[in-house]
Protein backbone atom coordinates (compact mmCIF):
# COMPACT_ATOMS: atom_id res chain seq x y z
CA UNK A 1 0.00 0.00 0.00
CA UNK A 2 2.82 2.42 0.88
CA UNK A 3 4.61 1.64 -2.41
CA UNK A 4 1.70 2.90 -4.57
CA UNK A 5 1.90 6.58 -3.50
CA UNK A 6 5.69 6.50 -3.70
CA UNK A 7 5.47 5.18 -7.26
CA UNK A 8 3.05 7.96 -8.17
CA UNK A 9 5.40 10.59 -6.65
CA UNK A 10 8.23 9.21 -8.77
CA UNK A 11 6.15 9.31 -11.94
CA UNK A 12 5.01 12.88 -11.25
CA UNK A 13 8.63 13.95 -10.69
CA UNK A 14 9.68 12.29 -13.95
CA UNK A 15 6.76 13.92 -15.77
CA UNK A 16 7.69 17.35 -14.40
CA UNK A 17 11.35 16.98 -15.39
CA UNK A 18 10.35 15.73 -18.83
CA UNK A 19 8.12 18.77 -19.47
CA UNK A 20 10.89 21.39 -19.16
CA UNK A 21 14.08 22.06 -21.10
CA UNK A 22 16.02 23.11 -18.01
CA UNK A 23 16.81 21.53 -14.64
CA UNK A 24 14.39 21.94 -11.76
CA UNK A 25 15.54 22.25 -8.18
CA UNK A 26 14.42 19.94 -5.40
CA UNK A 27 12.71 22.97 -3.88
CA UNK A 28 10.76 23.76 -7.06
CA UNK A 29 9.48 20.21 -7.36
CA UNK A 30 8.75 20.12 -3.64
CA UNK A 31 6.88 23.42 -3.75
CA UNK A 32 4.59 22.17 -6.49
CA UNK A 33 3.86 18.78 -4.94
CA UNK A 34 3.62 19.94 -1.32
CA UNK A 35 1.51 23.06 -2.03
CA UNK A 36 -1.05 20.96 -3.87
CA UNK A 37 -0.85 18.23 -1.22
CA UNK A 38 0.10 15.59 -3.79
CA UNK A 39 2.93 14.43 -1.54
CA UNK A 40 4.34 14.66 1.96
CA UNK A 41 7.87 15.90 2.58
CA UNK A 42 9.67 12.73 3.68
CA UNK A 43 8.19 10.39 1.05
CA UNK A 44 8.93 13.03 -1.59
CA UNK A 45 12.59 13.15 -0.54
CA UNK A 46 12.66 9.35 -0.59
CA UNK A 47 11.20 9.32 -4.13
CA UNK A 48 13.85 11.77 -5.37
CA UNK A 49 16.63 9.73 -3.74
CA UNK A 50 15.36 6.47 -5.21
CA UNK A 51 15.04 8.01 -8.70
CA UNK A 52 18.62 9.28 -8.40
CA UNK A 53 19.91 5.92 -7.17
CA UNK A 54 18.12 4.14 -10.04
CA UNK A 55 19.73 6.49 -12.60
CA UNK A 56 16.43 7.94 -13.75
CA UNK A 57 17.34 11.47 -12.73
CA UNK A 58 20.64 13.27 -12.33
CA UNK A 59 21.18 15.28 -9.19
CA UNK A 60 23.75 18.09 -9.21
CA UNK A 61 24.37 20.29 -6.20
CA UNK A 62 25.40 23.87 -6.87
CA UNK A 63 25.78 26.05 -3.81
CA UNK A 64 22.76 25.38 -1.63
CA UNK A 65 20.57 24.14 -4.51
CA UNK A 66 20.18 20.68 -5.94
CA UNK A 67 19.33 20.68 -9.64
CA UNK A 68 17.52 17.67 -11.09
CA UNK A 69 17.30 16.53 -14.70
CA UNK A 70 15.72 13.46 -16.25
CA UNK A 71 17.96 10.84 -17.86
CA UNK A 72 17.25 8.66 -20.91
CA UNK A 73 16.35 5.84 -18.49
CA UNK A 74 13.90 8.16 -16.75
CA UNK A 75 12.33 9.18 -20.06
CA UNK A 76 11.96 5.53 -21.08
CA UNK A 77 10.37 4.61 -17.74
CA UNK A 78 7.98 7.53 -18.04
CA UNK A 79 6.92 6.40 -21.52
CA UNK A 80 6.03 2.96 -20.13
CA UNK A 81 4.12 4.19 -17.07
CA UNK A 82 2.85 7.61 -18.18
CA UNK A 83 -0.74 6.31 -18.14
CA UNK A 84 -0.58 5.86 -14.35
CA UNK A 85 -0.60 9.63 -13.83
CA UNK A 86 -4.08 11.10 -13.74
CA UNK A 87 -4.77 13.43 -16.70
CA UNK A 88 -5.90 16.20 -14.34
CA UNK A 89 -2.50 16.10 -12.60
CA UNK A 90 -0.73 16.27 -15.96
CA UNK A 91 -2.89 19.24 -16.95
CA UNK A 92 -2.14 21.01 -13.68
CA UNK A 93 1.60 20.49 -14.20
CA UNK A 94 1.40 21.74 -17.79
CA UNK A 95 -0.57 24.82 -16.73
CA UNK A 96 1.89 25.48 -13.91
CA UNK A 97 4.80 25.43 -16.36
CA UNK A 98 2.97 27.67 -18.82
CA UNK A 99 2.36 30.22 -16.07
CA UNK A 100 5.60 29.88 -14.09
CA UNK A 101 8.08 28.53 -16.65
CA UNK A 102 10.01 31.77 -17.11
CA UNK A 103 10.30 32.31 -13.35
CA UNK A 104 11.37 28.72 -12.75
CA UNK A 105 13.95 28.88 -15.54
CA UNK A 106 15.36 32.12 -14.17
CA UNK A 107 15.68 30.60 -10.69
CA UNK A 108 17.90 27.78 -11.95
CA UNK A 109 19.69 29.75 -14.66
CA UNK A 110 20.99 32.40 -12.30
CA UNK A 111 23.44 31.10 -9.74
CA UNK A 112 25.55 32.78 -7.12
CA UNK A 113 27.59 31.80 -4.11
CA UNK A 114 30.44 33.23 -2.11
CA UNK A 115 33.36 31.83 -0.18
CA UNK A 116 36.49 32.93 1.63
CA UNK A 117 39.53 32.72 -0.61
CA UNK A 118 43.02 31.68 0.43
CA UNK A 119 44.06 35.36 0.39
CA UNK A 120 41.52 36.14 3.13
CA UNK A 121 39.22 38.05 0.79
CA UNK A 122 35.73 36.87 -0.07
CA UNK A 123 34.86 35.89 -3.60
CA UNK A 124 31.38 36.16 -5.07
CA UNK A 125 30.93 33.72 -7.95
CA UNK A 126 28.10 34.73 -10.32
CA UNK A 127 26.74 32.70 -13.22
CA UNK A 128 23.92 33.27 -15.71
CA UNK A 129 23.02 30.40 -18.02
CA UNK A 130 20.66 29.73 -20.88
CA UNK A 131 19.97 26.02 -21.09
CA UNK A 132 23.44 24.49 -20.63
CA UNK A 133 25.37 27.47 -22.00
CA UNK A 134 27.09 29.86 -19.61
CA UNK A 135 26.32 33.40 -20.70
CA UNK A 136 28.25 35.03 -17.88
CA UNK A 137 30.64 33.59 -15.31
CA UNK A 138 32.13 36.27 -13.06
CA UNK A 139 34.14 36.07 -9.86
CA UNK A 140 34.48 39.26 -7.84
CA UNK A 141 36.87 39.63 -4.90
CA UNK A 142 35.60 41.79 -2.06
CA UNK A 143 36.92 42.49 1.45
CA UNK A 144 33.94 41.36 3.56
CA UNK A 145 31.48 38.51 3.80
CA UNK A 146 28.63 41.04 3.91
CA UNK A 147 29.73 42.57 0.60
CA UNK A 148 29.96 39.15 -1.03
CA UNK A 149 26.52 38.20 0.27
CA UNK A 150 25.01 41.47 -0.99
CA UNK A 151 26.55 40.95 -4.44
CA UNK A 152 25.05 37.45 -4.63
CA UNK A 153 21.63 38.74 -3.55
CA UNK A 154 21.72 41.57 -6.10
CA UNK A 155 22.82 39.22 -8.87
CA UNK A 156 19.53 37.35 -8.56
CA UNK A 157 17.51 40.43 -9.44
CA UNK A 158 19.91 42.46 -11.61
CA UNK A 159 21.64 39.79 -13.72
CA UNK A 160 19.78 40.60 -16.94
CA UNK A 161 20.57 44.31 -16.68
CA UNK A 162 24.23 43.58 -15.93
CA UNK A 163 24.47 41.12 -18.82
CA UNK A 164 22.94 43.65 -21.23
CA UNK A 165 25.34 46.34 -19.97
CA UNK A 166 28.35 44.06 -20.53
CA UNK A 167 27.20 43.20 -24.05
CA UNK A 168 26.66 46.86 -24.95
CA UNK A 169 29.99 47.95 -23.55
CA UNK A 170 32.06 45.11 -24.95
CA UNK A 171 30.65 44.89 -28.49
118-130 pLDDT, tens digit each: 999 999 999 888 7
Q: How many CB atoms lie within 10 A of CB 81?
A: 15
Where residue 131 falls among pLDDT bands split at 50, 70, 90? low
* Among the listed residues 30, 27, 48, 28, the one whose alpha carbon sits nearest the alpha carbon of residue 39: 30
Enclosing H/E stretch for 158: helix 145-170
Which of 110 and 141 is assigned the larger pLDDT?
141
> Which whole number is the average pLDDT over 147-158?
91
Which pLDDT does position 63 carry in this prediction?
A: 62
Rounded mean pLDDT of the chain? Answer: 90
Which pLDDT does position 1 carry in this prediction?
A: 33
**Domain boundaries in the chain?**
3-108, 109-170
Cα 140 off chain centre by: 24
Give the architecture (CATH level 2) of 3-108: Orthogonal Bundle (1.10)
Which DSSP category does 109 fall into?
H
Q: Which CA distances in Å does 55 have to 43, 48, 71, 134?
A: 18, 11, 7, 25
List, in sequence order, every beta strand (DSSP E) within the chain: 24-25, 57-62, 65-70, 110-116, 122-130, 133-142
Determine what percent of the chain is predicted with pLDDT higher than 90. 67
> Which whole number is the average pLDDT over 32-59?
93
Which pLDDT does position 160 carry in this prediction?
A: 86
Distance CA 69, CA 143 (A): 36
Distance CA 14, CA 35 (A): 18
Sequence-ordered list of residues with C-beta below 8 angstroms from that of 162, at least 6 positions apart, any chain:
136, 155
Determine what percent of the chain is predicted with pLDDT higher than 70. 95
Instruction: Please answer whether residues 20 and 101 qualify as being in contact, where contact means their C-beta atoms are separated by less than 8 angstroms.
Output: yes
Where residue 102 falls among pLDDT bands split at 50, 70, 90? confident
Distance CA 111, CA 63 (A): 8
For residue range 52-93, what is the model confidence (pLDDT) as tens digits? 999 999 998 866 678 899 999 999 999 999 999 999 999 999
Instruction: Please answer whether residues 44 and 30 qualify as being in contact, where contact means their C-beta atoms are separated by less than 8 angstroms.
Output: yes
Amino acid sequence: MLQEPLTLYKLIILYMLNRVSFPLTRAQIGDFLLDREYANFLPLQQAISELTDAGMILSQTNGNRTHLTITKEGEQTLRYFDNRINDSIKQEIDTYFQEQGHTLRNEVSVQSNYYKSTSGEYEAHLIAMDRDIKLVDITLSVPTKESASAICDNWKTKNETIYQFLIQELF
